[in-house]
Chain A
Amino acid sequence: MKRLSRALLIAAVLVAGFLGAGAYQWQAGGAAFAQPAPARQVVTVRELVIVDEQGIERIVWTGEDARPRLVMRDTDLHPRAYLGFVPPAGEGKSAFWAMNLLDAQQPRAVWAIGADGGGSTFNLRDNHGVIRYSVGYTDQGNGGLGMKDTQGRQRLGLGMPAHAGYSLSLIDEDGQAIWSAPGHPAPHASREGE
């Protein structure tokens, strides 16, 4: 009789335990089973790394070195896409917020805005690193669109001074304007309009 009541007690406790677990699941709406990894409201880390199937770090999102940035890399770990802060390259240089697409060696498409709000620019570079196309504005209202040849010489300029008319120039290899609009050659298109 004693053994029977002990077995009954254990069975009752187990049943109660299962009932308690079931009650929790019911109360939680079964979410725990539907989502094996429940969503967290906020995940706070200093550095987030995305690794591929081979364990290579392909994306790094970090705020280290006071440079918040998101960097995507190829399998050889060359940066290929960059989004974030770029510190000054040297004394007297400006800091930027930038977005770059890069080939294995250098940036090919670059967007940048001065960290101090001093200007913004976009440029396309060729596979030798020469800026071939650029457009930008300064905080004084000046701006320009320029196209260069493979040697980096300015060959087309559309000047957009803040307080004068726009002008367009085609320029030869020696820097001489060979054609311009609105009508006369302009060695420096952006100044000619002023």
Chain B
Amino acid sequence: MTRLRCCALVAAMLAGGFAGGWLAAWLADPGPAWAQASPGPAERLAVRQLVLLDEQGRTRGQLGMIQGQPQLIILDEQGPARLVLGLAGPEDNDFWILSVLDANRKTRFKTAAKADGGGSMVGVLDHNGTARFTIGYTDQGTGGLVMNDAQGRRRFTIGMPAHAGYSIHIQDEQGNDLWAAPGQPHPQAAPQTRSEP
């Protein structure tokens, strides 16, 4: 092999190497090239799911059809979801919800509207998952505001029956009225007896 041929071979191999590397880079990473080539923001992007990553590559946000339901989920750095907005629940009993969860995956705040229009509610829950404050309405017009103790026992109620007056009740551990207004316990809101206007 002459010196000239040897040089040509080396040059050809170098060119081949660079060409192979460039081809691999182009095939592997077309995205940024598209993003940089775009002169302005795209009008519209349609996807099934959008995932937001932090600097470490951890998923911190999801927007999309998640397990078949439209949802927005914000996650903390350890992974659990901390905020969920969207459709949740089995199909025949679906709720549109906004939930805020703690680090132990316990829901601490929840708002829900039944998908079929059957009712809506807001609840605040403690670290054990016990509902401590709830207010809600049904499609029959009834509703109530309830505050529970740590054991989940009803201790304060504002009853809002659909076709009767409102009433306020403070109750003991057994559910007996310690105090009520306007003066007599409402049979539905507080079935037990004692009443002190």
Max count, chain B CB within 10 A of own CB: residue among A39, A125, A127, A149: A127
User: In the complex the two chains form, is B16's CB within 8 Å of A20's CB?
Assistant: yes
A25 to B125, CA, bound (A): 50
Taken together as a complex, chains A and B put the C-alpha atoms of A52 and B78 apart, in Å, by: 28
Q: Is A17 close to B, CB under 8 A?
A: yes
Quick one: which of A21, A47, A149 contacts B23, CB cutoff 8 A?
A21
Q: Which of B39-47, B100-108, B147-155 contacts A (4 or more CB under 8 A)?
A: B39-47
Q: Shortest distance in angstroms between A171's beta carbon and chain B's nearest beta carbon?
A: 8
Interchain CB contact under 8 A, A20 and B20:
yes
Residue total for A at the interface (Cβ-Cβ under 8 A): 74
Q: Are B115 and A13 in contact (CB under 8 A)?
A: no
Total count of chain B residues near the partner, CB < 8 A: 79
Chain A residue contacts of B31, Cβ below 8 A = 37-38, 40
Given contacts A45-B43, A150-B141, A170-B181, contact A16 B165 (CB under 8 A): no
Contact B120 A124 (CB under 8 A): yes
Are the CB atoms of B141 and A101 closer together than 8 Å?
Answer: no
**Which chain A residues numbered 1 to 42 have a C-beta less than 8 Å away from chain B?**
5, 8-9, 12-25, 28, 31-33, 37-40, 42
Stretch at the interface among A102-110, A112-120, A186-194: A102-110
Chain B residues packing against A (C-beta within 8 Å): 1, 5, 8-9, 12-25, 27-29, 31-32, 35, 41-51, 53, 57, 63-65, 68, 70, 72, 85-87, 96-98, 111-122, 135-137, 139, 141, 143, 145, 158, 160, 162-163, 165-168, 181-183
Q: What residues of chain A have their CB less than 8 Å away from a CB belonging to chain B?
A: 5, 8-9, 12-25, 28, 31-33, 37-40, 42-53, 57-59, 61, 70, 72-74, 80-81, 83, 99, 101-105, 108-109, 122, 124-127, 132-133, 147, 149-150, 155-156, 168, 170, 172, 178-179, 181
